[in-house]
Amino acid sequence: MHVCVLGGGVVGVTTAYFLAREGFKVTVVEQRSETGVGASFANGGQLSYSYVAPLAGPSVLSHLPAWLLSRSAPLRFHPSLDFAQWAWCAEFLRNCTRARSRQTTIELLQLGAYSRETMHQLMTDVQIDFAFRKSGKLVVYRDADEFDGARRLMEFQASFGTEQTALDATACVSAEPALASIGDKLVGGIYTPSEETGDCFLFTRELGRTAAEELGVRFLYETSLRGLRQENGKIVAALTSNGDIVADEYVVALGNGSRELLRPLGIRLPMLPLKGYSLTVPVGEGNVAPDISVTDLHHKIVYARLGQQLRIAGMVDMTPEGSREDATRIQLLKSQAESTMPEAGDYSAAQIWTGARPTTPDSKPFLGPTHLSNLWLNTGQGSLGFTLAAASSKLVVDTLCRRAPALDLAPYQLHGRNVMRDHPTTFSAVRSGE
């Protein structure tokens, strides 16, 4: 049986790996010249299984004016004439109620816990070097009300087995001396010892290499998908810039490319690319870089040590691709990081990256079947794609194998998630302009 995996990011490669282990013949289609260079490239490096709360929550409404008006807010929103953006925003706001946000948090915590288990099994089965560390995570707060809220969330999460400790400001700096220069600004932090970090690009590249060399997965690079041809309720070919690919099953793991490819098939995925930025800063002798993975909640910036580098990532921007504002935002990220951890590394040699999270309005990915019998989804992991790749991929592969998955897939499926269906085209779907 031949399975075609569409997309060679962390999600597609992990899917391909699990499929190949099941004995399938697997082909991965990727438009770039290597794996992991889309959204998976220089992300925050967090394997953040216990920090999965959705972006949509009750506090959003009070923050909206700042997002719209302040140039230095960690979240920026530029209204556009794009209908998809407004539909996404309406659905996002519907998910901001306390009840919905709480339910989604529970579902994502379950997915996160299963991802940790699956990732650990994967790391036992294949030896890959991706700067992995069981770093623990310290989320620090500068605002007393936010810290109170975090402690309440900690109690809620404890009922799901998450072990966390609340620390005062002094204890935060003792635990992570790299925070010394902002010690007087902190009100406290929440420490989660079980959290992990790693380099998502290295993970994707090395897992892909192992899958190719040891399990025979075929990677078709520089191959752009132009559409999917459907006949009689199933996909009969993937149409690419290098010809058609005929397979028995097709898994969509295209991240931000998923929506466009699926729309002509009548599947409208409410997903938007939410931009973020990262700096990769060399750490040398004499630097005081954090050993623990740190999140500075006030600025919404994460810090992860990846070998001799410090990855710093943040900002959530709904702004157009290639926006002129990007340079300003990167500069803001740099100055906020430098003032938070001035000795952490050589900021003048920072490598800069802009990426976009493939994000759904409720922050849950789309996993599992579609109305086409051999077309499967594994997309929309948003700001948690590295964290959730293992669970998402294993669940989709189990379902494709017609085996009961370890978690009920219902909360993550396309159907029943307020997703509108367009009128399906009957023959082939070809991307506009190509």
Ligand X SMILES: Cc1cc2nc3c(=O)[nH]c(=O)nc-3n(C[C@H](O)[C@H](O)[C@H](O)COP(=O)(O)OP(=O)(O)OC[C@H]3O[C@@H](n4cnc5c(N)ncnc54)[C@H](O)[C@@H]3O)c2cc1C
CA distances from 49 to 143, 219, 308, 366 (A): 24, 29, 24, 18
User: Which of 50, 104, 309, 387 is in the footprint of ligand X by CB under 6 A?
Assistant: 387
Q: State how beta strands 249-252 and 234-240 pair.
A: unpaired
Q: Residue 253 interacts with ligand X (CB under 6 A)?
A: yes
Task: Identify which of residues 42 and 169 has a Cβ nearer to ligand X in the complex.
Answer: 42
- Part of the chain binding ligand X (CB under 6 A), chosen from 129-137, 210-218, 253-261, 398-406: 253-261
Q: Residue 208 interacts with ligand X (CB under 6 A)?
A: no
Beta bridge partners of 77: 318
Q: Residue 276 interacts with ligand X (CB under 6 A)?
A: yes
Task: Identify which of residues 49 and 173 has a Cβ nearer to ligand X in the complex.
Answer: 49
Q: Residue 386 interacts with ligand X (CB under 6 A)?
A: yes
Tally of CB atoms within 10 A around 373: 12
Site for ligand X in 283-312 (CB under 6 A): 302
**91 neighbors 418 (Cβ within 8 angstroms):** yes
> 320 CB contacts (<8 Å, ≥6 apart)?
78, 80
What is the end-to-end Cα distance of the chain in Å, rounded? 30
Q: Residue 136 interacts with ligand X (CB under 6 A)?
A: no
Please provide the DSSP assignment of 18-42 as one string. Answer: HHHHTT-EEEEE-SSSSTT-STTSS
Q: Residue 224 interacts with ligand X (CB under 6 A)?
A: yes
Task: Identify which of residues 266 and 355 has a Cβ nearer to ligand X in the complex.
Answer: 355
User: Which of 9, 189, 198, 411 is in the footprint of ligand X by CB under 6 A?
Assistant: 9
CB of 130 to ligand X, least distance (A): 13
Q: What's the full length of the chain, in residues?
A: 434
CB of 365 to ligand X, least distance (A): 8
d(CA 417, CA 409): 12
Tally of CB atoms within 10 A around 190: 24
For tokens 């391909």, name the residue: 16
Task: Identify which of residues 112 and 188 has a Cβ nearer to ligand X in the complex.
Answer: 112
CB of 373 to ligand X, least distance (A): 22
CB of 281 to ligand X, least distance (A): 15
User: Which of 115, 210, 278, 336 is in the footprint of ligand X by CB under 6 A?
Assistant: 278
- Part of the chain binding ligand X (CB under 6 A), chosen from 29-37, 115-123, 153-161, 394-402: 29-37
Burial annotation 376-407 (CB, 10 A radius, 16+ → b, else e): bbbbbbbbbbbbbbbbbbbbbbbbbbeeebeb
d(CA 398, CA 401): 5
Tally of CB atoms within 10 A around 433: 5
User: Which of 3, 20, 28, 45 is in the footprint of ligand X by CB under 6 A?
Assistant: 45
343-344-349 Cα angle (round to 5): 100
- Part of the chain binding ligand X (CB under 6 A), chosen from 16-24, 25-33, 68-76, 135-143: 25-33
Q: Residue 31 interacts with ligand X (CB under 6 A)?
A: yes
Long-range contacts of 71-76 (CB under 8 A, 24+ apart): 71/328, 71/332, 72/332, 74/299, 74/300, 74/301, 74/314, 74/315, 74/316, 75/300, 75/315, 75/316, 75/317, 76/315, 76/316, 76/317, 76/318, 76/319, 76/325, 76/329
3-state secondary structure of 427: coil
Q: Residue 43 interacts with ligand X (CB under 6 A)?
A: yes
Q: Residue 7 interacts with ligand X (CB under 6 A)?
A: yes
Q: Residue 112 interacts with ligand X (CB under 6 A)?
A: no
- Part of the chain binding ligand X (CB under 6 A), chosen from 101-109, 342-350, 383-391, 418-426: 383-391
Task: Identify which of residues 150 and 200 has a Cβ nearer to ligand X in the complex.
Answer: 200
CB of 383 to ligand X, least distance (A): 5
User: Which of 3, 5, 8, 370 is in the footprint of ligand X by CB under 6 A?
Assistant: 8
- Part of the chain binding ligand X (CB under 6 A), chosen from 70-78, 114-122, 125-133, 350-358: 350-358
Q: Residue 40 interacts with ligand X (CB under 6 A)?
A: yes
User: Which of 16, 17, 30, 303 is in the footprint of ligand X by CB under 6 A?
Assistant: 30
Q: What is the DSSP letter of 155?
A: H
| Interface ranges with ligand X (CB under 6 A) | 7-12, 29-32, 38-40, 43-46, 48, 200, 224-225, 253-257, 261, 276-278, 302, 313, 355-358, 379, 381-387
